[in-house]
Structure 1
Amino acid sequence: MIKILIADHHPIVRYGIKQVLNATQEFEVVADVSTTTELFETLNKVTPDVVMLEMDIPEINGIATLRKIKQDFPNTKVLMFSGQSEDVYALSTIRAGAFGYLSKTSDLDYLMSALKKVAEGNMFITNELAQRLAFDEGTQKPRRFFRKLSTREIEVLKLLASGKRNKEVAEGLNLNEKTVSTYKARLMRKLNVDNLVDLLQQAKALELY
């Protein structure tokens, strides 16, 4: 059973989602909170598989809250959701480490699909967002997301994504191991992640290799 924590400042939203999810055999809402203070107090007591985090949750904004979750509870997966369309916040939340972004206008079936996908450790993005991330409008050329990656950085990323260790990457590209470590650190900075697992997930989801 997938354990969910709902963080939203609207009581009726929390109640509605909780009723829907708890009525299934696949989900259990282990807690629901209305502020970031309550959220972090609760995360110290329970370990959900997915946090549904409202973008406009009170006290700290959603992006800052997401970054703090990533820092303090690195194994916790976060699905952001908001009344705003994904055009407004989706890129920022994925950049900050969210596993997906969902509009509050989405159907309930779509919500449950998103929660399942995120619980499995996969990114959840709509087809429309994936297209915007992967291609420049009108050019149909792959985008270099966030900041442009160099050819060498993409080569390093491809080898890391294939499961190669730093030493093997260095041998494959005729570099020394320290240089590969430098490239890896640069890639993490450009893709705004702090570990290799997140780096490869971001790169795969955003079709950067």
Structure 2
Amino acid sequence: MAKKSNARSTDHVRIFVVDDHPAIREAIADLIEGTMDMEIVGEASSSDEAFHLMEKLSPDVAVVDISLDDAHGLDLVQNVRAQLPDVQMIVFSMYDENVYAERAIRAGASGYLMKSEPTRTVLEAIRSVQNGEVYLSRRMASRILNKVAMGRSSEPSFAIDELTDREMAVFQMLGQGYSVQDIQERLNLSRKTIETYRRRAKEKLGFDTVSELLQYSVQWTYSQGTNEQTPKPPVMEEN
């Protein structure tokens, strides 16, 4: 729900926060409200609510989580980029930047920040994207630049990197305990389509059964949330 009016302030960066955890929204709001050049204009826990409020409030920057009540965060990023191009977006997520940072940038985000970073880093990211820059951690920026400079084939390619954004979204939601029907409703896709993405993920990750895929997806998702070492899927063979 919006906290402030939609009257545009010319000397403040207007921030909108999208996260399904009230404590995270509150922490970001408290941080931003302690600055002189930023203000929170609204917040939401779901994709639909966020988009409708952003249409009305016209924020400068949106801080968006990947896991939302009703959709995958990257779907919201793509929708905002297509229909509200003046809104700069920063994905703020618990998920490993090695898996999601490039996906977020391709979807239309201007930055990616992990929740394991100090909260005040959010301010640095907001100022960067507001100045027209792309915000990534130094490690992630270096990884992407090395990939571009040396060529994609020069570094090992893990199968999880080969999942499309939709396959990755289904894989992640399976790991969070959602059923096919739950995923169908949250992503607004048919059951057949969800099962197709699940099958493709299973094949790309080198598993023979759905049960093996589910077990791995749970392990992977748990490792992301606890900062434990991510279990390694099979390595893709170079042709």
Question: TM-score, normalization: structure 1?
Answer: 0.64
**Selected match of 1:58 from 46, 69, 72:** 69
Count of aligned positions: 142
1:132 maps to 2:132: no
Cα distance in structure 2, aligned partners of 1:99 and 1:69: 12
1:96 maps to 2:141: no
Q: Cα distance, 1:7 vs. partner?
A: 0.3
1:78 maps to 2:105: no
1:14 maps to 2:22: no
Partner of 1:110: 121
Q: Deviations over 1:1-53 (max 9, x none)?
A: 11100000001111111011111112100001110111011012101110001
- Distance change (3 Å), C-alpha of 1:36 and 1:144: same
Cα distance in structure 2, aligned partners of 1:112 and 1:36: 23
> What percentage of residue pairs aligned between the two structures are identical?
27
**Selected match of 2:37 from 10, 20, 26:** 26
- What amino acid does structure 2 have at the position aligned with 1:87? N
For the aligned residue pairs, the C-alpha RMSD in angstroms reads 1.7
Cα distance in structure 2, aligned partners of 1:36 and 1:59: 6
Give the match's secondary structure for 2:150: coil
Contact 1:133 1:143 in 2 (8 A): no
Structure 1 unaligned runs (5+)? 146-209
- What amino acid does structure 2 have at the position aligned with 1:129? M
Cα distance in structure 2, aligned partners of 1:42 and 1:15: 18
- What amino acid does structure 1 have at the position aligned with 2:124? S
Q: Cα distance, 1:98 vs. partner?
A: 0.7
- What amino acid does structure 1 have at the position aligned with 2:107? A
Cα distance in structure 1, aligned partners of 2:120 and 2:51: 28
Partner of 2:133: 122
Contact 1:134 1:143 in 2 (8 A): no
1:37 maps to 2:45: no
Q: Cα distance, 1:96 vs. partner?
A: 1.2
- Distance change (3 Å), C-alpha of 1:73 and 1:135: same
Cα distance in structure 2, aligned partners of 1:121 and 1:13: 25
Structure 2 unaligned runs (5+)? 1-11, 154-239
1:67 maps to 2:93: no
Q: Cα distance, 1:102 vs. partner?
A: 0.3
Q: Cα distance, 1:124 vs. partner?
A: 0.4
Partner of 1:49: 60
Question: TM-score, normalization: structure 2?
Answer: 0.56
Q: Cα distance, 1:144 vs. partner?
A: 6.1
- What amino acid does structure 2 have at the position aligned with 1:88? V
Give the match's secondary structure for 2:57: coil
